A and B are shown apart, each in its own frame.
Chain A
Amino acid sequence: MSAAARTVEHATCLGCGCACDDITVVVQRGRLTEAKRACALGTAWFGDGQVPDVVRIRGRAGTLERALSEATRLLREAKRPLVYLAGDISCEVQRDAVAIADRLKGAIDSLAGTAAPGVLAAQRRGRAGATLGELRQRADLVVFWGVDPDARYPRYSARYAVDPVGLAVPAGRRSRRVIAVDVGDARGPAAADGRVAIPPDAELDALGAMRAQVQGRTVAPDGPFGTAIALVHEMTKARYVALVADAEPGPTPSDPDRAEALIALAQALNDPTRCALSTLRGGGNRSGADAVLTWQTGFPFAVDFGRGYPTYRPHAGAAERLAGGEVDAALVIGAPATLPDSIARGLGGVATIAIGPRASAAGWKPVVAVDTGVAGIHEGGTAFRMDDVPLPLRPAFGGEDVRSAASTVRALRERLEGAA
Chain B
Amino acid sequence: MTTPSRLRIAGGTVYDPANGVDGAVQDVCIEGDRIVAELPAGVPRLDVRGMVVMPGGVDIHAHVAGSSVNHARRLLPEEHAADPVPAPPLADGAPARSGTGGTVPSTFATGYRYAGLGYTTAMEAAVAPLAARHAHAELDDTPIIDSGFYVLLGNDDYLLRQIAAGETARARDYAGWLLGVTRAYAIKIVNPGGVTVWKGGGRNVSGLDDVVGSSAVTPRKILETLAGAANGLALPHPVHIHCNNLGQPGNSATTLESMRALAGRRAHFTHLQFHSYGGERGKGWKSAARDVIDYVNGHAELSVDVGQVMFGSATTVTADGPVEHLLYASSGRKWVNVDIELETGCGIVPYAYREQAAVAALQWAVGLELFLLAKDPWRVVLSTDHPNGGTFLSYPELIRLLMDRAYRDERLKAVNQKLLAGSALLDGLAREYTLGEIAIVTRAGPARLLGLPQKGHLGPGADADVTVYAPDADRAKMFAAPRYVIKGGTVVVQDGQLRRASAGARLAVRPDYDVAVKKDVKRFFDDYATVAFENYGAEP
Contacts and interface: CB of A to CB of B under 8 A. Distances in A.
B340 A122 contact: no
A207 B210 CA distance: 37
Interface stretch (B39-47, B80-88, B381-389): B80-88
B534 A123 contact: no
Contacts of B86: 307-309
Given A134-B339, A312-B81, A296 B531 contact: no
Given A130-B341, A389-B131, A298 B76 contact: yes
Contacts of A394: 535
Interface in A288-334: 290-291, 294-300, 305, 307-312, 314
A95 interface: yes
Interface string B332-361: 001111111110000011000000000000
Contact of B99 (A12, A125, A131, A298): A298
B329 A125 contact: no
A129 interface: yes
Given A131-B341, A138-B339, A310 B84 contact: yes
B534 A102 contact: no
A295 B138 contact: yes
A257 interface: no
B98 A310 contact: yes
A225 interface: no
A300 B528 contact: no
A419 B341 contact: no
A137 B70 contact: no
Interface in B83-123: 84-87, 93, 95, 97-100, 102, 104-108
Main secondary structure of the interface of A (DSSP, over half): mixed
Interface string A110-139: 000000000100111111111111101110
Interface residues of A, number: 68
A310 B130 contact: no
B97 A131 contact: no
Given A131-B341, A391-B531, A274 B199 contact: yes
Contact of A392 (B133, B200, B201, B338): B133
**Best-surrounded residue of B77, B87, B198, B349 (most CB of chain A within 10 A):** B77
Nearest to A125: B334
Interface in A361-420: 382, 384, 388-392, 394, 417, 419
Contact of A295 (B73, B337, B529, B531): B73
Given A133-B342, A295-B70, A271 B329 contact: yes
Contacts of B530: 131-133, 136, 159-160, 389
A65 interface: no
Nearest to A239: B201
A145 interface: no
A84 interface: no
Interface string B267-301: 00000000000000000000000000000000000
A124 B86 CA distance: 26
A382 B540 CA distance: 10
Given A132-B341, A134-B340, A310 B80 contact: yes
Contacts of A274: 198-199, 201, 339
B138 A168 contact: no
A309 B535 contact: no
A102 B329 CA distance: 39
A124 B104 CA distance: 17
26 contacts: A95-B141, A102-B97, A124-B334, A126-B335, A128-B336, A129-B336, A134-B340, A136-B530, A137-B341, A137-B342, A137-B528, A167-B528, A168-B201, A240-B199, A267-B335, A270-B337, A295-B137, A296-B99, A298-B77, A298-B104, A298-B106, A305-B98, A309-B99, A311-B84, A389-B131, A419-B93
Given A128-B335, A270-B337, A390-B133, 4 more contacts: A21-B531, A122-B75, A134-B340, A384-B134
Interface of A: 9-10, 12, 21-22, 91, 95, 99, 102-103, 119, 122-134, 136-138, 159-160, 165-168, 239-240, 267, 270-271, 273-274, 276, 290-291, 294-300, 305, 307-312, 314, 382, 384, 388-392, 394, 417, 419
A-B CB proximity, top 5 nearest: A133-B341, A298-B80, A298-B100, A133-B530, A239-B201
